[in-house]
Amino acid sequence: MKKTLLLFPILFLIYWSCEEQDTTPPTVSITSPVSGQSVNEIVTISVNTDDNEGINKVEFFIDDSLVLTDTESPYAYEWNTTQYEDNSEHIVKVISYDNSDNSTESQPIMLIVDNSTSTPNGGNITSVTYTLTEMTVEWEESTDGDFKDYKLLYSETEIGVKDTLETYTDISTTSYTITEFDPLVENWFWVQVSDTMGLSSIGIGMTNSLDSEPTPVNITSVTYDLESMTITWEDYVPNMGRIQRMNRNTRSTVTNDFVSYELLQSDSEDGTYTSVVVITDQSTTSHSITEYDPTQENWFKVKVTDYWNLTSTGSEMTNEIDSPPTPSEIYPIESDNGSFIISWSQNNESDFLSYTLYQSQYGDMSDQSIVITINDNIDTSTIISDELGYFQINTQDIWGQESESNIIGTTNIISGIMYIVGESYNSEGTLTACYWVDGSRVELPGGDWATDIFVSNGTVYTSGTSGANACYWINETRYDLPGNGGEGEAIAVDSNDVVYVAGWYNDGSCYWKNGQRINLTTNGDSQAFAVGLRTNGDVYVGGYYLNNSHYVIPCYWKNGNDRHNLSIPSGGDGEVNDVAIMDGNTRYYAGYTMAPDNFAGYVPKACHWRNAGNRTDLPLGGSSWDIYGAYGRGIAVDGEDIYVAGYTDWYEFTGQEETTGGSFPQYWKNSTIHDLPGGPLTNFGTGIANDIRVMDGDVIVVGEATRDTSYSDSQESACYWINGELHYLVDQNDVPDGLEDWYWSSAKGIFIE
Helices (H) and strands (E) in the chain, counts: 2, 61
CATH topology of domain 27-113: Immunoglobulin-like (2.60.40)
What is the spatial distance between Cα 665 and Cα 721, in angstroms, rounded to a whole number? 10
In 99-181 the beta strands, taken as DSSP E runs, fall at 103-105, 109-113, 125-130, 135-139, 147-155, 163-168, 175-178
Amino acid (1-letter code) at residue 152: L
Other C-beta atoms lying within 10 Å of the C-beta of residue 17: 7
As to burial, measured by CB atoms within 10 angstroms (0-12 exposed, 13-18 middle, 19+ buried), residue 60 is buried
Beta-bridged to residue 636, according to DSSP, are 643
**How is residue 488 annotated by DSSP?**
E
Cβ(500)–Cβ(515) below 8 Å: no
pLDDT for position 624:
47
What is the spatial distance between Cα 240 and Cα 254, in angstroms, rounded to a whole number? 10
Cβ(742)–Cβ(715) below 8 Å: no
What is the spatial distance between Cα 567 and Cα 608, in angstroms, rounded to a whole number? 10
Pairing of strands 38-39, 109-113: parallel
Spell out, as residue ranges, where the chain has pLDDT lower than 70.
Answer: 1-19, 131-132, 210-212, 248-251, 337-338, 386-388, 410-415, 621-627, 651-661, 679-685, 708-714
Pairing of strands 125-130, 109-113: unpaired
Count of residues for the chain? 753
pLDDT for position 112:
95
Q: Report residue 720 CA to chain centroid gap.
A: 31
Domains 125-207 and 219-318 share a fold: yes
**Can you give the C-alpha Rg of the chain in angstroms?**
47
Architecture of domain 125-207: Sandwich (2.60)
CA terminus-to-terminus distance, the chain: 162
For the 219-318 domain, the top CATH level (class) is: mainly beta
Cβ(266)–Cβ(222) below 8 Å: no
Residue 668, CA atoms < 13 Å, CB-side half-sphere: 26
* Contacts of 1 by beta carbon, 8 Å cutoff, 6+ apart: none
Amino acid (1-letter code) at residue 627: I
Coil/strand/helix, residue 184:
coil
Beta-bridged to residue 80, according to DSSP, are 42
pLDDT by residue (tens digit) across 93-140?
Answer: 999 999 999 999 999 999 999 887 777 887 899 998 876 578 899 999
Return phi, psi of residue 250, to 5°.
-110, 5
Q: Where are the domains of the chain?
A: 27-113, 125-207, 219-318, 334-412, 481-617
Mean pLDDT of the chain: 88
What is the spatial distance between Cα 361 and Cα 389, in angstroms, rounded to a whole number? 5
Buried-state track 493-517, b at ≥16 Cβ within 10 A, e below 16: beeeeebbbbbbbebbbbbbeeeeb
pLDDT by residue (tens digit) across 396-447?
Answer: 999 999 999 998 876 556 667 889 999 999 888 889 999 998 778 899 999 9
pLDDT for position 659:
60
State how far the alpha carbon of 740 is from the alpha carbons of 684, 732, 736, 745, in Å: 19, 9, 10, 13
- Cα dihedral sign, 8-9-15-16: positive
What is the spatial distance between Cα 170 and Cα 141, in angstroms, rounded to a whole number? 10
What is the spatial distance between Cα 124 and Cα 647, in angstroms, rounded to a whole number? 71
Q: What is the pTM of this model?
A: 0.51
The domain 334-412 is placed in CATH, from the list 3.30.230.10, 2.60.40.10, 3.10.20.740, 2.40.110.10, at 2.60.40.10
H or E, element range at 431? strand 431-437
